[in-house]
Amino acid sequence: MERTVLVIEDEPNIIEAISFILSRDGWRVVTHSNGVDAVDAVASRRPDLVILDVMLPGRSGFDILRDLRAEEGTAALPVLMLTARGQTQDRELAQSLGASRFMAKPFSNAEVLEAANALVAS
- Measuring CA to CA, which residue among 98, 58, 54, 104 is closest to residue 79? 98
Residue ranges of the domains in the chain?
A: 4-121
What is the Cα–Cα distance from 73 to 50, expressed in whole angstroms? 13
Say what the pLDDT of residue 109 is. 94
Q: What pLDDT is stored for residue 1 in this prediction?
A: 72
As a 3-state breakdown, the chain gives helix, strand, coil percent values, each rounded to 5, of 45, 20, 35
Q: Model pTM greater than 0.75? A: yes
One of 1.10.10.10, 3.40.50.1580, 3.40.50.2300, 3.40.50.2000 is the CATH number of 4-121, namely: 3.40.50.2300
Q: Give the model confidence (pLDDT) of 58-91 as tens digits.
A: 999 999 999 999 999 999 999 999 998 778 899 9
| pLDDT at residue 4 is higher than 90 | yes
pLDDT of residue 84: 86
